[in-house]
Amino acid sequence: MLMGNASRRFDDPPSTLAKNRIMSNTIRVMICDDSAVMRRILTTVLSEDAELEIVYAAQHGRDALDNLDQAKPDVVVLDVEMPVMDGIQTVAAIRRKHRTLPIVMFSSLTSRGAEATFEALSAGANDFATKPSGVGHLGQAVDIVRKDLLAKIKGLVHARRRLSAVGNSRITLSPAVTRPAKSGGPISLVAVGVSTGGPKALSEILPCLPVDLPVPVLIVQHMPAVFTGLLASRLDAISSLSVKEAEDGEMIRPGGVWIARGDWHMEVSRFGTDTRISLNQNEPENSVRPAVDPLFRSVARVFRDRALGVILTGMGKDGLDGCRAMRQQGASIVAQDQATCAVYGMPRQVIEAGFAESVLPLEQIADEITRRVRCGSARSLAASR
């Protein structure tokens, strides 16, 4: 049903789509969930924000599709499990009509919900937020949704609008803010930080890395605990490298990829000649755990100028302090460009601070990682002769 008039009863049937009075900067939101309680929670949260306007509340995917063109949303918040047409089918159908319309999946924090969410992301959804579960009262549920969902809605819509405003032009590095890399040893580790749009970005990068990559790869992806293990399994299935969820005390080795465990910060520590993963539940940084900054700072301490940092799509500034620490030790940083980011937040912070040596579209990043790692190994071999 159309939600332009706040006085309309929430669960009135979607009869006539009324015209909405909107400002040009208003974000028009379509919500789609078969639960009347969850629709009410979403309405409560989104209606509190003056920047957001709910233009339609659908009860299942077919309902959403039938009213999509008339409602003209800027973003769709979509349940995963619904009757008539589920979230995965709905995402695929929306993508056939609207290639860039932001879609946020709203899923339960369970193994089944995580599996379905990844299917939806593969079908073209941009991001996901987790439904509140096990909370004592409606107020708690509202707080959880407010914390997890609002920033993602705004980040995705603002990113799309900014990209449209610049005509999809590529953002290139300005020589005025670029610092050349210090001359260091061969690269011994690749550290990756990513958030919104990460599963898709990683699924494009990791399969393109060679099976004989002579260094380990450590990845922090902002995700809850249930999701990171599934992400690792899915990436392992499509990659020639071994991909797994990190375990505390695990020794890292060349040719392996480790995904930070949800709700745990991941760092690296030196034990004699071995380098091992250290997990901790220290306070969240940049409002997230795991965070990119703790990993990158530890990489700077342990590997100094022999590391390569990669900052991919994501909102916020997580990774900025870590990239600063890595650059101070002479390490190199590669950042994803604006045109291929789902949200140009984390890379933008790093690029504008002058820490990125290379700013590349997503499709070139795997080759750049391979080139830099192999180039450093070749230099090291030549020097030893």
Cα–Cα distance for residue pair 126/130, rounded to 1 Å? 14
Which DSSP string do the residues of 174-234 spell out, in sequence order? -GGGPPPPP------EEEEEE-TTHHHHHHHHGGGS-TT-SS-EEEEE---HHHHHHHHHH
> Would you call 222 a catalytic residue per the annotation?
yes
- By CB neighbour count within 10 A (0-12 exposed, 13-18 middle, 19+ buried), where does 169 fall? exposed
> Would you call 63 a catalytic residue per the annotation?
no
Q: Residue holding tokens 């937020």? A: 129
* Catalytic-role residue among 195, 239, 298, 358: 195
> Would you call 158 a catalytic residue per the annotation?
no
Q: Residue holding tokens 């009324």? A: 18
* Catalytic-role residue among 79, 318, 321, 337: 318
Q: Are residues 25 and 50 in contact, defined by beta-carbon separation less than 8 angstroms?
A: no
Contacts with 197 (C-beta within 8 Å, 6 or more apart), sequence order: 126, 127, 312, 313, 314, 341, 342, 343
Contacts with 296 (C-beta within 8 Å, 6 or more apart), sequence order: 191, 193, 309, 319, 321, 322, 323, 325, 326
Q: Which two tokens stand for residue 375?
A: 């180039």
* Catalytic-role residue among 74, 107, 148, 222: 222
Cα–Cα distance for residue pair 314/295, rounded to 1 Å? 16
Contacts with 179 (C-beta within 8 Å, 6 or more apart), sequence order: 327, 354, 355, 357
Q: CB neighbours (10 Å) of residue 226?
A: 20
Cα–Cα distance for residue pair 160/374, rounded to 1 Å? 36
The catalytic site residues sit at 195, 222, 318
